[in-house]
């Protein structure tokens, strides 16, 4: 079972401060999400497979390396959309496939409302994007869809997590890597991360009430 180690970086700590602050406006919130996602992606893709290739510089030929894996980015709607652009800036040829879930406020379990994965050959590796790993319900539902599709390597990228959500993903999908910026104290009775940052989707897309 892969260990979960929060990202330890001064830039991450500063961006998290911005996200947690209740007075941060949506534009600055989205910018902080972009910074944190870029740091996570750099770490998550460190060991992607490459193959040797000969190229020609302006001076001579030289051996270099190119990525060989077919990568899928799977944002969980709606909040995961805020993490897509910084991922594509680093891996512009990655495929993007969306999964949508909303949380039943009584059971706290996810309810699927959008799923469109292509028939046929699955991607080599899929990166599930969701800023918050709270109960773990949506993450596990997304990972189950990817497992059904036939994806062999899955990675979850999130900004904040509660121990309960981490435990659930590890129990149900022990081979999935989990990369996070911070692990908070707990979930409250409504299933929100404490101290957390509120609803990441609402804050990113200016829909907070």
Which domains are assigned to the chain? 10-46+71-204 (3.40.50.2020)
| Active site (annotated) includes residue 103 | yes
DSSP code for 105: T
Instruction: Give percent of the chain above pLDDT 90.
Output: 78
pLDDT of residue 129: 97
Which of 18, 30, 35, 202 is catalytic? The answer is: 202
Average pLDDT of the residues of the chain: 92
Are the C-beta atoms of residues 142 and 117 closer than 8 Å to each other? no
pLDDT of residue 1: 60
Which of 103, 148, 168, 209 is catalytic? The answer is: 103
The whole-angstrom separation of Cα 126 and Cα 70 is: 9
| Active site (annotated) includes residue 45 | no
Which of 24, 35, 177, 199 is catalytic? The answer is: 199
Does pLDDT of 71 surpass 90? Answer: yes
User: Tokens 């979930």 identify what position?
Assistant: 187
Which of 107, 130, 168, 209 is catalytic? The answer is: 107
What is the Cβ-side half-sphere exposure of residue 136, based on CA atoms within 13 angstroms? Answer: 17
| Active site (annotated) includes residue 203 | no
pLDDT of residue 209: 64
Average pLDDT, stretch 129-139?
95
Give residues with Cβ within 8 angstroms of 74, minimum separation 6.
80, 96, 97, 98, 99, 126, 127, 128, 129, 142, 146
| Active site (annotated) includes residue 107 | yes
């Amino acid at each position: 079972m892969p260990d979960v180690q929060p990202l330890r970086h001064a830039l991450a700590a500063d961006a998290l401060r911005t996200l947690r602050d209740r007075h941060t406006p949506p534009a600055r919130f989205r910018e902080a999400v972009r910074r944190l996602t870029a740091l996570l992606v750099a770490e998550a893709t460190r060991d992607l497979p490459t193959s040797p290739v000969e190229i020609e510089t302006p001076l001579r030929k030289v051996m270099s390396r190119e990525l060989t894996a077919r990568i899928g980015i799977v944002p969980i709607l709606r909040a995961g959309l805020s993490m897509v652009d910084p991922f594509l800036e680093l891996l512009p040829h990655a495929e993007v496939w969306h999964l949508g879930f909303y949380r039943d406020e009584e059971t706290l379990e996810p309810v699927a409302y959008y799923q469109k994965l292509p028939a046929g050959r699955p991607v080599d590796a899929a990166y599930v994007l969701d800023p918050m790993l709270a109960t773990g319900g949506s993450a596990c539902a997304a990972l189950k869809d990817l497992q059904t599709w036939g994806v062999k390597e899955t990675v979850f990228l999130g900004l904040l997590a509660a121990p309960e959500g981490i435990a659930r993903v590890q129990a149900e999908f022990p081979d999935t890597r989990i990369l996070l910026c911070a692990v908070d104290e707990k979930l409250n009775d409504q299933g929100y991360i404490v101290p957390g940052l509120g609803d990441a989707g609402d804050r990113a897309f200016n829909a907070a009430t």
